[in-house]
Amino acid sequence: MGVADDLFKALADPTRRTILDELTQKSGQTLFEICSRLSMKHRLGISRQAVSQHLAVLEAAGLVETRREGRYKFHDLNTAPLRQIAERWLATEASDPSAVSAPSDTSGPSDPCDPEESTP
């Protein structure tokens, strides 16, 4: 699966977007803190294992990076992959409105009407 696919798949899930929201508020959170925020602030009934799996998807997309510090593991937000989205549809128009080049999709041909496409 291509980089863009990983990114959009990661963003397609509301729980994963909430995790990103919380990491935007404060970077460098342990798994425990992320779980606490989801259950206490957002009232999401979600297991620690499920949160771990969501974090793995976000990490595969490059949106979350893990950092070991001593005996603990922290999760940091990385917004760099989001720039791909901005550059793909917004930057071209901003830099030169006449030169709209079609960006290449890494996933190859797929059915644009396929409703299964964005669901994990």
Partner 1 sequence: MRIQLTSVFVDDQAKALHFYTEVLGFVKKHDVPVGEKDRWLTVVSPEEPGGTELLLEPMGHPAARTYRDALTEDGIPLAQFAVDDVNAEYERLRGLGVRFTQEPLEMGPVTTAVFDDTCGNLIQIATQPQ
The site for partner 1 (CB under 8 A) is made up of: 26, 29-33, 36-37, 40-41, 48, 71-74
Least gap, CB of 88 to partner 1 (angstroms): 35
Q: CA 33 → CA 64, 83, 119, distances in Å? A: 15, 27, 27
Residue among 7 and 51 whose Cβ is closer to partner 1:
51
Residue among 70 and 109 whose Cβ is closer to partner 1:
70
Residue among 67 and 83 whose Cβ is closer to partner 1:
67
Write out the H or E segment, with its range, that includes residue 77: strand 72-77
Least gap, CB of 9 to partner 1 (angstroms): 24
d(CA 84, CA 104): 12
User: Could you tell me the two tokens for 30?
Assistant: 């342990």
Report helix, strand or coil for 97: coil
